[in-house]
A and B are shown apart, each in its own frame.
Chain A
Amino acid sequence: MRTSINQRGRRGAAVAAGAAATALILSACGGGDSGVGGTGEVEAQDCPCEIRFSWWGSDERHAATQEIIDAFEAENPDITVVPDFTDWDGYWNKLSTTVAAGDTPDVMTQEERYVSDYATRGVLADLGELDIDTSKIDESILAGGRIDGTQYALPTGINAYAIVANPGVFEEAGVEIPDDTSWTWEEYVEVANAVSEGAGEGVWGAQDYGFNEAGLNILARQKGESLWTPDGEIGVSEETVAQFFQTSLDLMADGGQPDASRTIEYQHAGPEGSLVGTNVGGMASFWSNQLGALSEASGEDIQLLRYPGETEFERTGMYYKPAMFYSVSATTEYPDAAAKFVDFLLNSEEAAKINLTDRGLPANTDMREVIADDLTDADKQVADFMADLGDEIVDASPVPPNGSAEMQDIMERINTEVVFERITPEEAATMFMEEVNAAIAD
């Protein structure tokens, strides 16, 4: 079953989700709602026991995670960990249906756009009550997994959203890589246009950043706003949203970015097929943990740069994002075993050495030193970059509210309308406000 889902990949997972839905409706029909939600009291059982751990990711991550599980089982012979994994898209379909069917994985991987949905509906256990050591995790990062004062999720590691630059393309274009400690948004546009011009046909200065709300969040924070407020409302102004889309549109008009159709295609090509990854683009926006994939795909030493505008407005906008979280089911029969496993994932040197930076630069600060010697050049650069940011980051970005899982869709839809010039950036900003408000309202 494991390998078959893996081989069939994301489409297969979607089909599987459909099948799971059928099964779910069936069970809802026959068995009532005994397993739904986390309201029922579950009596904790002693081990020997079997717990299920679910995660998403690439084949490399699956292999590495299996190694970690093996190491854990060797140390804890009375606990068996059953692996349960799919790709990113299939993961959420599968997780929601298994929860609905009352079959929530004992330990699961969570992400900031979904964690609030699961936490506020009683699916996740209060980790503060379990025996997991969190003393080595920075308080501001721990806060990312805290909702209404309860620690529902523990961050695996941290990422930063940043600009990646391809030195080969810059050289080809005869343009210098800008100084990222002081560059402005205007300079970003100028540099991108210069690269397009210098490198000639088929090479562009930048890949459109408008599909990901993280870039918008950085701009908002620079201007003293924030994508989300701590109360779970939209915290960014319509004006900032319009400015965000306008910059990308200007870039397209001046040739700094490819045309709209290509923009959409490159967006769907992942890091490996991106402009920077295929050596036909100078800059793009990615999460810092994707640097390795970009460097490998391009064969270049791709550079991480701070987002533009860090010194332009009232404050800096960059932030650490919890890469993912570990959560425990509120209905698990074996909370102690689950806690032991999460503790192992976060705090054991063995797990850290296998995982390296695959789930972000480890949240446990001790583990960053443990893995330092084993890192690739790209990962070393990520570690240094993150360390440099430490002094500049003002505060953590608030946890996105319920419904924020729709954000990815909304951004993609609106940005597509913008790049094809079917709506103006101002109309896009209005649409953004309406759609995001609707998404978090229900």
Chain B
Amino acid sequence: MSSVIQEVASTRRTAGERRKGDGRMAALFLAPWFVGLFLITAGPMAASLYLSFTDYDLLSAPTWIGVDNYVRMFEDPRLLQSLQVTFTYVFVSVPLQLAAALALALVLDKGMRGLALYRSVYYLPSLLGGSVAIAILWRQIFGADGLVNQVLALVGIEGTGWVSHPDHALNTLIILNVWTFGAPMVIFLAGLRQIPRMYYEAASIDGAGRLRQFWSITVPMLTPIVFFNLVLQLINAFQNFTQAFVVSGGNGGPADSTLLYTLYLYRKGFADLDMGYASAMAWFLLLIIGGMTLVNFLASKYWVHYDD
């Protein structure tokens, strides 16, 4: 360590040499991250790739079975169900979540008093939403005798047990995900601040109304931020686990209606002792997420506006 520092100190002569020294320094500081990457991420990933071609029950040594696990996936009705649930969950909750985030960001951007407080309050669900406590709370709120039904009863509607009904359980999870809009909201807020005020001044001098300003200035200027949020939240939503695990009691119920892909993967690996298949599922999920992200980037050419 100290020799590196001495070396860095003694090589401050030419710009070229200095750059070289900085590189070494950077490598040194990055080293812990690389160790983490290889030991905690890349190593297990390589192992799971290998395991995905084996029959592995965790209790005895894995045996090589080639692509059997991947072939089995095409004949597994529960896998299809889990994909259906996951895609519904992702494609309904992410747009709603981003819409909610943008709407709140627009309101907060007006510069009201106590902005910092409101910003924190609305960000709070994002911090809590993935937690076990909130998921348990959700079970209570949407239970047959829960808060939601008590409110509904006031206006004369008799609700059902939302979490325990196969037709509604997924919707409660979607609402929970939408509710955690704080992170994209903060990013939207930062994006709104970036838009030069002079555009709005010029537009209002030209006689453009608020709505016109929103559609012609705010929206196009904000598209890179929307894109960024979309990519992140899609990937996040595909990987969601805790909420579904807790709300469904750990098994994707009732009747597989909340069987998110990650939940099924977990059950296959640890409950059914089918880790080879679970590893294959993990790689298939990687392909799905990679594919979705690629499509996202390709499509972005047509709607994302970069101001340069």
Q: Do A and B come from one complex?
A: yes
In whole angstroms, how far apart are the Cα atoms of A14 and B262 in the complex? 13
B271 engages A117 (CB within 8 Å): no
Which of B23-31, B46-54, B115-123, B217-225 interfaces with chain A?
A: B46-54
**Chain A neighbourhood of B254, CB < 8 A:** 264, 416, 420
- Flag whether B305 is at the interface (Cβ < 8 A): no
Other-chain contact of A26, B47, B58, B60, B270 (Cβ < 8 Å): B47
CB of B245 within 8 A of CB of A420, answer no
B133 to chain A: closest CB distance in Å? Answer: 9
In the complex, the answer to whether B58 meets A97 with C-beta atoms within 8 Å is yes
A118-B255 in contact given A28-B51, A405-B271 (Cβ < 8 Å): no
In the complex, which of the residues A10, A265, A442 contacts B161, with contact meaning CB atoms closer than 8 Å? A265
Is chain A's binding surface mostly helix, strand, loop or mixed? helix
CB-defined contacts of B273 to chain A, threshold 8 Å: 96, 117, 405
Q: A21 touching B47 by the CB < 8 A rule?
A: no
CB within 8 Å of A: which B240-298 residues: 242, 245-246, 249-251, 253-256, 266-267, 269-275
Query: Does B60 lie within 8 Å of A36, measured CB to CB?
Result: yes
Stretch at the interface among A134-142, A354-362, A380-388, A406-414: A406-414
CB distance from B251 to the nearest CB of A (A): 6
Contacts of B246 in A (CB 8 A): 11
The answer to whether B47 touches A260 (Cβ under 8 A) is no
In the complex, per-residue mask of B128-143: 1 if CB is within 8 Å of any chain A CB, else 0 = 0000100000000001
A117/B166 in contact, CB under 8 A: no
- A26→B164 contact, CB < 8 A: no
In the bound complex, what is the Cα–Cα distance between A255 and B245 (angstroms)?
32
Q: How large is the interface on A (under 10, 10 to 19, 20 to 34, 35 or more residues)?
A: 35 or more
Cβ-based interface call for B43 (8 A)? yes
Given A26-B44, A29-B44, A30-B43: A123 in contact with B59 (beta carbons within 8 A): yes
Quick check: B161 and A26 within 8 Å, CB to CB? Answer: no
Whether the Cβ atoms of A417 and B255 lie closer than 8 Å is yes
Q: A260-304 vs B: 1/0 string, CB under 8 Å?
A: 111111001000000000000000000000000000000000000
**CB-contacts of A15-32 with B (<8 A):** 17-18, 21-22, 24-26, 28-30
- Asked if A239 is an interface residue, CB under 8 A from chain B, the answer is no
Shortest B135–chain A CB gap in Å is: 8
Residues of A within 8 A of B250 (CB): 10, 14, 89
Instruction: State which of B40, B60, B161, B271 has its C-beta within 8 Å of the C-beta of A22.
Output: B40
B61, CB-defined interface residue at 8 Å: yes
CA distance A14 to B271 in the complex (A): 11
Question: Which residues in window 93-152 of A have CB below 8 A to B?
Answer: 93, 96-97, 99-100, 117-118, 121-123
Residue of B nearest to A262 (CB): B144
B39 at the interface (CB under 8 A from A): yes
With an 8 A cutoff between CB atoms, is A228 at the interface? no
Contact yes or no, A92 B48, CB < 8 A: no
The answer, yes or no, to whether B126 is at the interface (CB within 8 Å) is no
Q: B269 near A261 (CB under 8 angstroms)?
A: no
Interface centre among B59, B144, B160, B274 (most CB of A within 10 A): B59
Q: Which residues of B contact A (CB under 8 A)?
A: 39-40, 43-44, 46-48, 51, 57-62, 132, 143-144, 160-161, 163-166, 242, 245-246, 249-251, 253-256, 266-267, 269-275
Q: List 5 A-B contacts (CB under 8 A).
A: A22-B44, A96-B270, A261-B165, A416-B166, A442-B274
